Structure 1
Amino acid sequence: MTDKTMTDVRQIEFTSAQGDTMTLADLGDKAVLVVNVASKCGLTPQYEALEQLQRTYGERGFTVLGFPCNQFMGQEPGSMEEILDYCAVTWGVSFPIAEKVKVNGGKSAELYKALRETRDDEGKKGRVAWNFEKFLVAPDGSVRRFRPRVVPDDPRIIEAIKAALPA
C-alpha cells in the first residue's frame, strides 16, 4: 500500500550526522529508503542487506538513509562518532546516516511524525514498531511502509524500489 502523505515528506528538515540541516529533496530526485537503525539489536544484521541495496541501486537513483534511534531498549547508545565508525567498520556502510532521532512520541523527529501516517501492507499506521522499520519515499513523495521484520531484500521491497526509481 502506497500513501501520499498530507505533508510532502521530501521537504521536512532533519539533521545529517555532520550537523547539516537537510531534506530528502536535497538528496536529489532519488527513491530513499528511510530506516531507523540500531547497533545492538537482533535485527542489526539487516545492515548487510541495506548496504547491498545501496550498491545495487545507488547509481540508478536510490539511497538508503539511516536514522540511529535509541528508543527501543537502548539498542543505539553510542555517540554519533561511535555509530558512524561501527557502521563503516562492521558493515561497510556507504549510505548516509543522519543524526540520532526519536521516532515515536511527542519529541520524535518531524520526518518520523509524517512517516508514521503511512499505512503498511496490512493497512496499519501509527507508531514505529521497532528498530529497522523501513519507509520507501519515492521521488513524487509517495511512501511505502515496511515493518521491521520485513528484510531489506524481501521481494516486496525490491519491487517497490524498482517501481520508485526515477525514469
Structure 2
Amino acid sequence: MNKLLASLIAGLFVSAAFAQAPAAPAAPAITPASPAVVKAEAKADKANAAAATSEAKVDAKADAKVQKAEVNAGEKKIKASTKAEKAKASANAKAAKADADDKVKAEAKAAKVEVKADAKAEKAVANANAKVDGVKVDAKADKANAKTETKAIKAEGKVDVNTAPAK
C-alpha cells in the first residue's frame, strides 16, 4: 500500500512538472514595416471591412425575404381555411334547408363539398409551406455565397500583404 501511494504521489509531481508551460521565448526584434507592406495592410483592412459589410447586408436581406415569405404563407393559410369553412357552412346550410325528400341527397352533397374544401385548403397550405421552404433554401445559399466571398477577399488581402516588398 505504501509503495502504491508513493508511486501515485510521484506520478502527480511528474505530471505537474510536465504540465508547466514552457518559458516564453525572448521577444523578437521589431522591424519597422516598409511603406509597401503598410499600404497593402491598409488596403486589405479596407477590403475586409467592405466584405464584412456586404456579407451583413446579404444576410439581412435573406432574413427579410424569409420573414416576408413566412408572413405571406401565414396569410395564405388563413385565407384557405376561411374559404373552406365558408364553403362547408354554405353546403351545410343548403342541406338543412332541403326538403325531407331531398335531405339525404343534400347531406351527401354537403359531405362531398366538405371533403373537397378540406382538400383544397390542405393543398394551399402545402404549397405555402413549400414556397417558404424554397425561400429558406435560397436565403441559406445567398448567405453561404456571401461568406465564401468574404473569406476569399480576406485571403487575397493576406496574400497581398505577404507578397508586398519588405524593403
Superposed pair shares fold, TM > 0.5: no
TM-score (norm 1): 0.17
More helix as a share of residues: 2
1 or 2 for the larger relative contact order (CA 8 Å, sep ≥6)? 2
More strand as a share of residues: 1
TM-score (norm 2): 0.17
Larger Rg: 2
